[in-house]
């Protein structure tokens, strides 16, 4: 991910309703302390911070777009979901200190909406709101419905060692739903990954009299691969080698890091002694006396020892919102029989994994998949009242697989 330079273009960019950077010099975007699901009843503004890898200050502005459950824009006026004007200027900014990669860190505070639902945060240049730098998803929810969920070994025999099945019940006694299959939509995701989420799986049992819906399936409709514990890279210091760091080079032009050589875990047993953070990136600088503004960026080369596979391999995690782009697509080195990719990352602690995209191999070919692996699950319940043209989020709950296996 090479450094970019601020664009002076006044052209518009096509907006994507997902977590996405539109400029290469955007770095380390953090919304609400990395918690994208927010209880609407809580108080205070929504905090947004990010870096622009440049020395040139830019006048920027944030705004919300209210979206339906499927992240298409909703037909609803702004005054119906916001208490104030839908434009937010930066609260403050600071220049990095003593870093090889120069950057400016920006801080924004966005008003808390007054209506639950899906919100896309759009950050753009103030003089041209269509010249977008990045977009991020957040969800505001209430608890108007009751949810009970559990994880278990899958019903399908061929998935019992590799997958986790979610069963769920939901009561909507406080809401009017004459056609509950149309009034309600559900989204279930694993480790905050929208790209592998189960969207709008219909209930298997309906009990209109008691206003109850159940999801208990037997053909894999609500199963996820268990995967393995995440690999991790400790890059909280650039003065010596952290865990899984083979080499650190501080050059005049910047810092270069070589990650320790990885291997496939596809045929290995479950790595249950390894504690992970369910795919998260945790910002941090462990060097004594150094502030957050002294956290530097480094070019980090990841390497995976493997024969060439029939397909692509991507290095994924919450560090890049689980996206699969050219930036994290691995290349193959025939001479050394390994895959590699170089990423520009800020100091911190990174969970990551290798995902395979192939017609004849499972996505977890390089990691293995085990039913007892630790994963975090989030359940969102959307509700569209009769005669309305938008979806509110009326239920939310989280659970961890360690509670059940």
Q: Which of 57, 60, 62, 61 is nearest to 103 (CA)?
A: 57
Q: Is 275 helix (H, G, I), strand (E, B) or coil?
A: coil
pLDDT in tens, 124-139: 999 999 999 999 999 9
Q: How far apart are CA 285 and CA 231, in angstroms?
A: 20
Q: How far apart are CA 180 and CA 6, in angstroms?
A: 49
Question: What is the set of domains in the chain, with CATH numbers?
Answer: 20-141 (2.60.40.10), 146-226+373-403 (2.60.40.10), 231-357 (2.60.40)
Q: Is 86 helix (H, G, I), strand (E, B) or coil?
A: coil
Q: Are 270 and 372 in contact (CB under 8 A)?
A: yes
Provide, for the chain, the percentages of residues in helix, strand and coil under a 3-state DSSP scheme, each rounded to the nearest 5: 10, 45, 50
Q: Which of 145, 152, 130 is nearest to 10 (CA)?
A: 130
pLDDT in tens, 57-94: 999 999 999 999 999 999 999 999 999 999 999 999 99
Q: Return the pLDDT at 242.
A: 92
For the entire predicted model, the pTM comes to 0.95
- Alpha carbon separation from 20 to 23, 41, 63, 105 (Å, rounded): 9, 28, 15, 18
Q: How far apart are CA 188 and CA 184, in angstroms?
A: 13
Q: Does 291 have pLDDT greater than 80?
A: no
- In the DSSP assignment, the letter for residue 329 is B
Q: How far apart are CA 141 and CA 41, in angstroms?
A: 8
pLDDT in tens, 9-65: 456 899 999 999 999 999 999 999 999 999 999 999 999 999 999 999 999 999 999
pLDDT in tens, 4-22: 455 554 568 999 999 999 9
Residues in the chain: 405
Q: How far apart are CA 138 and CA 38, in angstroms?
A: 8
Q: Return the pLDDT at 401.
A: 97
**Where in 142-276 does DSSP place strands (E)?**
146-152, 163-171, 184-190, 198-199, 205-207, 212-215, 223-225, 231-235, 245-251, 254-259, 262-263
Q: Does 115 have pLDDT greater than 70?
A: yes
Q: How far apart are CA 391 and CA 383, in angstroms?
A: 5
Q: What sign does the CA torsion over 200, 206, 209, 211 have? A: negative
């Amino acid at each position: 991910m090479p450094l970019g330079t601020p664009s002076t273009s006044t052209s518009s960019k096509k907006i994507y309703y997902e977590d996405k950077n539109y400029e290469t010099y955007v770095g380390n975007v953090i919304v609400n302390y990395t918690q994208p699901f927010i209880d609407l009843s809580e108080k205070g503004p929504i905090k947004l911070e990010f870096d622009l890898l440049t020395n040139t200050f830019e006048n920027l502005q944030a705004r919300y777009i209210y979206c339906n459950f499927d992240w298409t824009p909703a037909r609803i006026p702004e005054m119906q979901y916001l208490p104030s004007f839908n434009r937010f200027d930066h609260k403050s900014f600071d220049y990095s200190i003593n870093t090889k990669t120069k950057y400016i860190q920006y801080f924004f505070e966005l008003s808390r909406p007054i209506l639950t639902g899906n919100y896309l945060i759009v950050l753009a240049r103030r003089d041209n709101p269509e010249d977008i730098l990045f977009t991020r998803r957040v969800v505001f929810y209430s608890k108007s419905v009751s949810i009970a969920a559990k994880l278990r070994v899958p019903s399908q025999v061929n998935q019992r060692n590799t997958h986790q099945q979610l069963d769920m019940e939901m009561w909507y006694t406080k809401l009017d739903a004459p056609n509950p299959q149309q009034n309600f939509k559900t989204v279930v995701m694993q480790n905050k990954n929208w790209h592998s989420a189960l969207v709008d799986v219909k209930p298997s049992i309906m009990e209109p009299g008691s206003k109850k819906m159940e999801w208990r399936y037997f053909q894999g409709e609500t199963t996820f691969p268990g995967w393995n514990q995440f690999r991790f890279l400790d890059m909280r210091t650039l003065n010596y080698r952290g865990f899984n760091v083979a080499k650190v080079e501080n050059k005049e032009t910047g810092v270069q890091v070589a990650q320790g050589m990885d291997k496939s875990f596809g045929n290995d047993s479950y790595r249950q002694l390894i504690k992970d953070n369910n795919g998260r990136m945790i910002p941090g600088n462990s060097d004594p006396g150094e502030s957050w503004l002294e956290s530097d960026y480094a070019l980090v080369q990841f390497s995976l020892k493997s024969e060439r596979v029939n397909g692509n391999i991507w290095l994924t995690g919450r560090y890049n919102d689980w996206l699969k782009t050219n930036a994290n697509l691995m290349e193959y080195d025939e001479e050394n029989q390994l895959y590699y990719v170089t990423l520009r990352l800020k100091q911190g602690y990174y969970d990551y994994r290798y995902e395979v995209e192939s017609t004849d191999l499972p996505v977890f070919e390089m990691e293995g998949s085990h039913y007892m692996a630790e994963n975090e699950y989030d359940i969102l319940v959307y509700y569209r009242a009769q005669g309305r043209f938008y979806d509110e989020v009326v239920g939310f709950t989280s659970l961890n697989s360690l509670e059940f296996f």
